[in-house]
Structure 1
Amino acid sequence: MHTMWKGTISFGLVNIPVKMHAATENKDIKLRNLHKECRTPVKYQKVCPNCDKEVENDEIVKAYEYAKNKFVVLDDDELENLKKEQTDKAVEIMDFVNLDEIDPIYFEKSYYLSPNDGGAKSYGLLRSALQDTGKIGIAKMMIRSKEQLAVIRIYENTLVVETIHYPDEVRDVKDVPNVPAENNAEEKELETAKMLIDQLSADFEPEKYEDEYRTALMELIEAKKEGEEVTTAQETPQPDNVTNLMDALEESLNRAQKDKSSKTKQKTAPSKEKKKVAK
């Protein structure tokens, strides 16, 4: 399993060297965009609308737009220094709380933790302490250049980091439109709904749930492959340096001839005027 982060988790004077691994993966089927006419993948370019030209990565800087079309530019060194200040710190568990105190709306992404070299004993110590107390740890850590609020808990005998949103990242429910303030259902309707919920209640078994759309899409793709309903993108001819040089020479020659012709006409024009005056 790929290691995406290495660091130290600490609580009190106990330090646990750990590695972090993604606990989930995106199974979405990625579809490419092709040009309908020639079946070639569409290329997306970064273009500056002011200069009307394509911009290379090394020509791009990061900035914060604090007002319409007004920016504060931040250079890479400044951002890297901020990042380093955070990543050099050990991840310290600030508080221990009960899991049921955190609403699921706060949860974001899960990562597995494994002990790094020499960390097996302290890893097991924290795991046992969390199991016996029923608590989870709250900590802050840097992941992908962002300071994350995180939960450290146990999942099937493995420590897990669960990133959670900061309170100001969760939108106020008062901003949700058209939510009725009171329940206006009749008593009979409510009782029937509760009976239906009771009949459909079951233990949570994640294995029985399936992404039916993804399955159907893969079946469609495989059927088209077997029926040879496939297309091959045409290779875009890449001009070599010789062709480019020849084009440049011919274009330069054409421009030089035009310039020469234009200058000749300008020189001959006054002489004709002089002849008319002489007559």
Structure 2
Amino acid sequence: MAVSHKGAISFGLVHIPVGLYTATQDVDVRFNQLCKDDMSRVRYKKVCASCGKEINSSDIVKGFQYEPDKYVVVTDDEFERIKTEKDKSIQILHFCDLSSIRPIYYDKTYHAVPETGGEKAFELLRRAMRDENKVAIAKTVMGNSETLLCIIPTDDGILIETMFYAAEIKELPKEFTHPEVSDAELTMAKTLIGSMEKPFEPAAYKDEYQERLRDLIAKKIAGQEIVAPAAEQQGNVIDLMDALKASIEQAEPPAKPKRGRPKKGA
């Protein structure tokens, strides 16, 4: 697996060289765009707006428009030249509780792997953070922007989450009311939650729609007709308490029959 970013976690005066590797992957079925008349692939070309000439990646430079139709060009070398040593490191700003961070701030997950010579310092940081139940908030420059990071210790490694800044988080699209709920309704809802509680097991969850999509493709290749699945029967419970009661009954496993004591002489 190719490394996505290299740097060093800066922890006080300790520097831990690490490589960041993407921790997730896209496994969705992908489709090509085709011309419906002859089923040929639709291609996209990069064309110069001035002369109409098709260009490739080596002909492209980055330009910032500071006035209409006026640009200043910045090269990749110049982007690197203005980076300080601090920018190149993953600078820990402070430590905090994981529970204090709203999930909306997380963007992308990376595995942090120590480079040669940094293993002991890496393990020391992981163990200390794990024992104290803390995560670290850090910053580094990735690409052409300073990125906010959350460093999270795990049982066997360290995860690094890129984060959004507060200015990047949108407000709620609209306000909504918070109606009063009765104690009985709240108790019933908590009972339903309790009846559905079980440990999180990642391997237990599958993308069922993607499985049906792959099955659809296989059937179309084989020339079979595609039939829509039968519609599921929906309940007609309207009252909230009735719906909660019915949900609890549905969630609870059937009671096992009690076994009586064997009769003497049997």
- Unpaired runs of 5+ residues, structure 1, are 230-279
Partners of 2:87 and 2:140 within 8 A in 1: no
Structure with higher helix content: 1
Could you say which residue in structure 2 is the equivalent of 1:183?
179
Instruction: Compute the TM-score of the two structures, normalised by the length of structure 2.
Output: 0.72
User: Is 1:216 aligned to residue 212 of structure 2?
Assistant: yes
Could you say which residue in structure 1 is the equivalent of 2:92?
93
RMSD: 2.9
Secondary structure of the residue aligned to 1:125 is: helix
Could you say which residue in structure 1 is the equivalent of 2:154?
155
Change (3 A) 1:17 1:50: closer
Partner amino acid for 1:17? P
> How many residue pairs align between the two structures?
224
Specify the structure having the higher radius of gyration (Cα).
1
- Unpaired runs of 5+ residues, structure 2, are 226-266
Task: Please give the alpha-carbon distance, in whole angstroms, between the structure 2 residues aligned to 1:193 and 1:73.
Answer: 60
Identical counterparts, % of pairs: 38
Change (3 A) 1:39 1:119: same
Residue pairs, 1:70-219, within 5 angstroms: 72-76=71-75, 77-82=77-82, 84-85=83-84, 89-173=88-172, 176-177=173-174, 179-184=175-180, 190-219=186-215
Could you say which residue in structure 1 is the equivalent of 2:258?
none
Instruction: Compute the TM-score of the two structures, normalised by the length of structure 1.
Output: 0.69
Could you say which residue in structure 1 is the equivalent of 2:7?
7
Partner amino acid for 1:21? Y
Task: Please give the alpha-carbon distance, in whole angstroms, between the structure 2 residues aligned to 1:2 and 1:57.
Answer: 21
Partner amino acid for 1:200? M
Task: Please give the alpha-carbon distance, in whole angstroms, between the structure 2 residues aligned to 1:12 and 1:80.
Answer: 25
Task: Please give the alpha-carbon distance, in whole angstroms, between the structure 1 residues aligned to 2:51 and 2:180.
Answer: 60
Listed one character per residue, the Cα deviations across residues 90-119 of structure 1 (whole Å, up to 9, x for unaligned) are 222110111111010101111111111111
Task: Please give the alpha-carbon distance, in whole angstroms, between the structure 1 residues aligned to 2:66 and 2:133.
Answer: 44
Change (3 A) 1:106 1:88: closer
Shift of 1:193: 3.9
Task: Please give the alpha-carbon distance, in whole angstroms, between the structure 2 residues aligned to 1:180 and 1:71.
Answer: 46
Change (3 A) 1:66 1:13: same
